[in-house]
Amino acid sequence: MGKMKPRTLSGFLELLPDRQVQFDKMIDALRASFSLYGFTPLDTPIIEAAEVLLAKGGGETEKQVYQLTKGDTDLALRFDLTVPLAKYVALHYGALTFPFRRFQIGKVYRGERAQRGRFREFYQADIDIIGDGSLAVINEAEIPGVIYHSLTALGLSRFVIRINNRKVLNGLFAALGLTARAGDILRTVDKLEKIGQEHTAALLVRDIGMEQSQANQLLDLLTCTQRGVSPIAALSAYSGKNALLDEGIEELFTVAKHMEDFGVPDTHFAMDLTIARGLDYYTGTVYETIIPDHPEIGSICSGGRYDNLAEYYTDKPLPGVGISIGLTRLFYVLEEQGYLNDDLLTAPADVLILPMTDDLAPAISFATALRGVGVRAQIYGEQKKFKAKMGYADRLNIPYVVFLGEDELAAGKVTVKNMVSGDQEIVSPEVAIKGLTAGVAHQKTLPPVRQ
Amino acid sequence: MGKMKPRTLSGFLELLPDRQVQFDKMIDALRASFSLYGFTPLDTPIIEAAEVLLAKGGGETEKQVYQLTKGDTDLALRFDLTVPLAKYVALHYGALTFPFRRFQIGKVYRGERAQRGRFREFYQADIDIIGDGSLAVINEAEIPGVIYHSLTALGLSRFVIRINNRKVLNGLFAALGLTARAGDILRTVDKLEKIGQEHTAALLVRDIGMEQSQANQLLDLLTCTQRGVSPIAALSAYSGKNALLDEGIEELFTVAKHMEDFGVPDTHFAMDLTIARGLDYYTGTVYETIIPDHPEIGSICSGGRYDNLAEYYTDKPLPGVGISIGLTRLFYVLEEQGYLNDDLLTAPADVLILPMTDDLAPAISFATALRGVGVRAQIYGEQKKFKAKMGYADRLNIPYVVFLGEDELAAGKVTVKNMVSGDQEIVSPEVAIKGLTAGVAHQKTLPPVRQ
């Protein structure tokens, strides 16, 4: 019979077992972190009615959406977790309690052009806090706390959470009489890091029609952090000039002052007035998170405050704040950079039990006892040479092997071999169970990343 | 602006937050159970190339597959976790170590006709053990151990794992000279429970052409368990008549004799010669699991031994044994029957912290301290009346509320209110943290199901 060549589609990540364990540990760490902050887990369908999912319409995203028909129904695969959240909150509004805090970690789909490090199926890990009509700014201040805790739980140590406030930017443009050009200015300012301040100022003069001195003044202000000047201090000169600006400064100050209380160290937090995070969705605090050693990676965790989560589904104003981690891409770059923690135990079992007698009952009973106290035990029951059995434990990095031979059974003992040190000892089953439990405990507490 | 009416497609389960917590606890319990037996987690793409996914071709399933095109690629959504496993093992054969034990818990898609309790998107939880060329029968004996441990971990207590061996059935038909009619006989025997032995025998005579005495004899044998006769004893009369039958009897005996060693009580295990589980895939031990109180639910966990996992992708013989739990359907029926454990803590937080002063710093610091020791804490920072704040904790079933007012702050204390008992006490933050940790510990150990 002709065989079909097995393959996995490009842009779809399929991990080998040890990598999968590391990936799953990342998900576990994020779940645990998000839960500590009162976020409840959600799981929405991957398939939605196309007209519901694409209610907003337009944009680059829609071209990338996977669409299909089944019978006479137009269906589409979700391309992010925000639109399904908006649908969920609008649909189940009456059954939810606000502020509604949820996290969702799930796969999303985008038919992007295939290239290295780009995925068509990828995990996003999102948290959002949705208010009913209003939402206090303290929620915006809490988000960097969640980011710091979550990334630290993954094992990352060198990262900086950068924040800004869209009211500051928009208020500033209003104070300068440039509200109508806000989008163009932001797009130009976005080039700062690439082309430098002088060229950016020249573009602001040429394309926006700003005075040279005005352009310099604006860029001096926006880049104050790079010159060691606090944005709060730099912005004080603009206090009282515009109500929105004042509000933005106040919020930025409120968020910043609570960082220590939320457990975010100075080293991992910075205000940066150049951050905008898109043009029209965010309306308050915005966040991005960079790894200073690897600026080329870009932001690994971004988000912000928005005014209307579900405006395409309901008239109710549902302001919120949220962040998203592109987990598959993060895993990919961490692997590329060699940051995955190879000390983490990725073996499928803690102990491989090798019965050396025809009667398997003692080996099975011993495995059952180990499992009863939470030790992951596998019985190797295949008819193979001793060397092949040991090679099995070796290739899977199983840390302990237990032998049950005639001698051991006669003496009521088991032989435990530590596969790392090579040490081997004959002990009672009770002693073995205690030792094995302790022996693997440390490795289970290790984070999936080491940076 | 006209609003799009939000909706979720029929046949797609979307849970409210408290139910989602219960569902997630079921997944967690299964993951933990499977891991104890040396199964490693896998995650394969939901989308595969259509020609790869449908390599086997034909059958009812193919009609239900969600297919789509993107560019010039024909894509399909997986309809089970077995075909993706076959592809995975064939594709990554060289990188895997055999026997390869994996579990996968993930969503699969079938465009079934919409009806109550039928799902188009549903979770399956699968485990499989794949051998390279051969696989010892001890692996087949271990499966009921995994089933028993897993279902018990979910909180189920009254269920029976029924097993049979296809070699027994096929050997029996061969001994009776009826191999060519095996499929027809099995289909007829399948009606036993519905139409009774007498009518089944009549069908065997009329449709298969068996002698009346032969039909009676066969049905007597197959239904021996119902009459309190052990299949091993009933089969002993057939010993030596057919090599395959002898092998099957031997395997059935081996699996049964190890049940106690694997920790499966007599009450939860039964041999039943009427079980076939499909016509052509399984070749050795087969399993199904029923809830005797609710026979209408059918089997909640089924599977068996097969000879060739990946015959459509590779010439390598890859025998295996596996089981599958239809998790979404199981959750649905358990909810319907009132078996979900409502004592399980489904609140998004263990503690709601109510700051009663303008300065939020003490409340934030207290929340940070609680989170540091693993207590899930939420700060309620909205400007609402006291009653509304308490109503929030109440509606979400958050078990504890902590007040931080002027008096508490002045005295360096916090007020802790137990929302169940109504008790309230003023204590130091350290005492509060200890008390809160202990207070929620019990609820976190409860299983998601109570039967």
pLDDT in tens, B243-269: 999 999 999 999 999 999 999 999 999
**Mean pLDDT, chain B, as a whole number?**
94
* Alpha-carbon gap, residue A415 to A426, rounded angstroms: 4
Q: Report CB contact under 8 Å: B45, A383.
A: no
pLDDT at A189: 87
AA identity, residue A330: L
Distance from CA of A345 to the nearest CA of B (A): 12
Three-class DSSP category at A343: coil
Q: Report CB contact under 8 Å: B107, A70.
A: no
pLDDT at B383: 93
Sort out which chain B residues have CB atoms less than 8 A from A142's CB and list them.
364, 379
Neighbours of A226 (CB within 10 A): 12
Distance from CA of B211 to the nearest CA of A (A): 39
Distance from CA of B68 to the nearest CA of A (A): 5
Sort out which chain A residues have CB atoms less than 8 A from B95's CB and list them.
16
- A36 → closest Cβ in B139, B145, B376: B376
* Alpha-carbon gap, residue A273 to A266, rounded angstroms: 17
Q: Which helix (H) or strand (E) holds A102?
A: strand A100-109
pLDDT at B40: 98
Strands (DSSP E) contained in B207-350 are: 269-271, 282-290, 302-306, 320-326
Neighbours of A297 (CB within 10 A): 16
* Alpha-carbon gap, residue B79 to B94, rounded angstroms: 26
The predicted-structure confidence for B39-80, as pLDDT tens digits, reads as follows 999 999 999 999 999 998 767 777 899 999 988 889 999 999
Per DSSP, the residues of B28-57 read HHHHHHHHHTTPEE----SEEEHHHHTSS-
Q: Report CB contact under 8 Å: B42, A17.
A: yes
Where helices occur in B155-230 by DSSP H, the ranges are 166-175, 182-189, 192-203, 212-222
Sort out which chain B residues have CB atoms less than 8 A from A376's CB and list them.
35-38
Sort out which chain B residues have CB atoms less than 8 A from A136's CB and list them.
381-383
State the pLDDT confidence band at B444, using cuts at 50, 70 and 90: confident
Mean pLDDT by 10 residues, chain A (451 residues): 89 97 98 98 98 85 89 93 98 98 98 85 98 98 98 97 96 91 87 89 93 93 90 91 96 96 97 85 96 93 96 96 97 96 95 96 97 97 95 97 96 97 96 95 89 90
Q: State the best of A47, A104, A398 to mutate against chain B, taking most chain B CBs within 10 Å.
A: A47
Sort out which chain B residues have CB atoms less than 8 A from A378's CB and list them.
37-38, 101
pLDDT at B1: 56
AA identity, residue A25: K
pLDDT at A1: 56
Residue in chain B nearest A49 by alpha carbon? B9
ipTM of the shown complex: 0.96
- A381 → closest Cβ in B37, B136, B314: B136
Burial annotation B395-423 (CB, 10 A radius, 16+ → b, else e):
ebbbbbbbbbeeebbeeebbbbbebeeee
Q: Report CB contact under 8 Å: A142, B7.
A: no
Phi first, then psi, for residue A419 (nearest 5°) are -75, -15
Sort out which chain A residues have CB atoms less than 8 A from B8's CB and list them.
44-45, 48, 87, 91
Q: State the best of A371, A384, A389 to mutate against chain B, taking most chain B CBs within 10 Å.
A: A371
* Alpha-carbon gap, residue A6 to B318, rounded angstroms: 15
The predicted-structure confidence for B125-139, as pLDDT tens digits, reads as follows 999 999 999 999 999
- A40 → closest Cβ in B17, B52, B107: B17
A and B: number of Cβ contacts within 8 A: 260
Distance from CA of B215 to the nearest CA of A (A): 38
Q: Report CB contact under 8 Å: B20, A39.
A: no
Mean pLDDT value across residues B327-354:
96
Q: Report CB contact under 8 Å: B121, A262.
A: no
Beta-bridge partners for A161: A269, A289
**Mean pLDDT, chain A, as a whole number?**
94
Q: Report CB contact under 8 Å: B20, A40.
A: yes
Nearest to A166 by CA among A284, A302, A247: A284
Q: Report CB contact under 8 Å: B91, A6.
A: yes
Contacts with B234 (C-beta within 8 Å, 6 or more apart), sequence order: B221, B224, B273
Sort out which chain B residues have CB atoms less than 8 A from A1's CB and list them.
311
pLDDT at A112: 81
Q: Report CB contact under 8 Å: B9, A49.
A: yes
Sort out which chain B residues have CB atoms less than 8 A from A43's CB and list them.
14-15, 20, 23-24
Residue in chain A nearest B375 by alpha carbon? A36
- B101 → closest Cβ in A3, A47, A348: A348
Beta-bridge partners for B74: B69
Choice among A54-63, A185-194, B153-162, B316-325 with the minimum mean pLDDT: A54-63
Q: State the best of B27, B67, B147, B261 to mutate against chain A, taking most chain A CBs within 10 Å.
A: B261
Q: Report CB contact under 8 Å: A121, B45.
A: yes
- Residue B387 CB-density burial (10 A; 0-12 exposed, 13-18 middle, 19+ buried): exposed
Neighbours of A208 (CB within 10 A): 15
3-state helix, strand, coil in chain A (%, to 5): 45, 20, 35
- B21 → closest Cβ in A41, A55, A87: A41
Q: Report CB contact under 8 Å: B46, A121.
A: yes
Q: Report CB contact under 8 Å: B382, A135.
A: yes
Q: Report CB contact under 8 Å: A45, B361.
A: no
Residue in chain A nearest B98 by alpha carbon? A392
Mean pLDDT value across residues B196-225:
93
AA identity, residue A194: K
Sort out which chain A residues have CB atoms less than 8 A from B348's CB and list them.
35, 38-40, 101
Neighbours of B448 (CB within 10 A): 24
Sort out which chain A residues have CB atoms less than 8 A from B102's CB and list them.
17
* Alpha-carbon gap, residue A146 to A323, rounded angstroms: 10
Beta-bridge partners for B302: B324
